[in-house]
Amino acid sequence: MSKTAGGLRLLHSLHVNASLKLITMISPSFLQRLQELHLQENTMEALDEQALVGLSSLALLDLSRNNLRTLSPATLRPLISLQVLRITDNPWRCDCALHWLRGWINEEGQRLLSSAERRLLCAEPPRLSHLSLVEVPANSLVCIPPAVQLEPSHLTVRLGESLRVSCQASGYPQPQVTWRKASHGKAQLDNFGPDTGSGMLFLSNVTVAHAGRYECEAWNPGGVARVTFHLSVNMSSSSSSSAVWPRDVSQEPIYELESMDFNALGTATQTAIAVGISLLALTALLLLCMIYSRHRQRQKEEGGGYGPSKEESILYVNDYSDGPTTFAQLEEYRDERGHEMYVLNRAKPVLPPPPLGPSTGPVR
């Protein structure tokens, strides 16, 4: 073992063709003299920020021809002796996370990268694809912060049941979703096996210990978004039994789909529902009758053979604007159709003239 350790301390060049785990398994003190690290063509999709810690003597790092989409500045920070960096032929995602790399290439990267290495091509987003990172305007390297939608936000389950809760996150780049259970005011990762790929929280064989507040967290380089889910556990299968409720959660009954039974409702509630349904049916019937009546009336008016004509249906009202009238001014009249009506004759006096009698002389 001592010979192996001594050999590692003298190691100057290392080619890794399978996995970066080999480096993480070796103590950093054994790699202090490592000068060349070749990690090309390893299909790596990410490089941890702590993966290269301790490689203070590293002069050459080859990360070309992998599947790297982004690179953190913290990853290169321990490489104080770095002289050559190869990072071409990776599908770089040109967003806010590579804003630092664009500036670094134009400054310190001038001595570490060749002219070809400085032309890092963007693979995404589509509007920037096939453009060189240094050619992209700084204000075009953007990220969309996460937005989280949780459905449902409250749930009650019985002992021994299982549940799935969906936490959907949107943003650019696609956020990473994790679930945590809050404990004593702090969000701590619990051993309940969340599916971080799909944003699903899955709990099987639920116990009282599962009751409480859970937190769904979505993260991307643009920011972090969190939303809370409350879980209560029913102590038995009886509908009247008590439930274990998390703190700050309303204790009103929670009804689930396909669990409502009409017969389980009270008599007053059943009566109110029946009366409401009857009133709705009666209202609908009256509306149908009204619509039918108006339709029949419109047909009669348009047909012309039924009912009075439009002209005959007009009611003329004397508003006395041209003086008072009396029945003495009414004259019977029949129009050309023989309809009887009365017409005011203004030529007639309002009051009949006084009768003529024998003249009388003055009374003496």
- Min mean pLDDT across 122-126, 134-138, 276-280, 356-360 is at 356-360
Q: What pLDDT sits at residue 90?
A: 94
Q: What pLDDT sits at residue 68?
A: 94
Ramachandran class of 41: left when φ > 0, alpha when ψ lies in -120 to 50, beta otherwise: left
pLDDT grade, residue 228 (50/70/90)? very high
From residue 203, give the alpha-carbon distance in Å to each of 82, 179, 231, 330.
Answer: 48, 12, 11, 95
Tell me the per-residue pLDDT of 180-190, one tens digit each, with 9 for 90 and over: 888 755 545 44
| Residue 91 pLDDT exceeds 50 | yes
- The CATH H-level superfamily of 147-244 is Immunoglobulins (2.60.40.10)
Tell me the per-residue pLDDT of 35-48, one tens digit each, with 9 for 90 and over: 899 999 988 998 88
On whether the 2-140 domain is CATH 3.40.50.10800, my answer is no
**Average pLDDT in the 88-110 region?**
91
Q: What percent of the chain has pLDDT over 90?
A: 27
Nearest 5°: phi and psi at 294? -65, -35
Domain with CATH 2.60.40.10 in the chain: 147-244
| Residue 241 pLDDT exceeds 50 | no
**Average pLDDT in the 226-249 region?**
64
Q: What percent of the chain has pLDDT over 70?
A: 63
Domain with CATH 3.80.10.10 in the chain: 2-140
Residues 221, 95: Cα–Cα separation, whole Å: 9
Residues 233, 217: Cα–Cα separation, whole Å: 23
Residues 151, 224: Cα–Cα separation, whole Å: 19
- Min mean pLDDT across 120-129, 256-265, 286-295 is at 256-265
Q: What pLDDT sits at residue 146?
A: 94
Tell me the per-residue pLDDT of 148-172, one tens digit each, with 9 for 90 and over: 998 888 889 898 888 888 899 999 9
Q: Chain-centre distance of CA 77, in angstroms?
A: 39
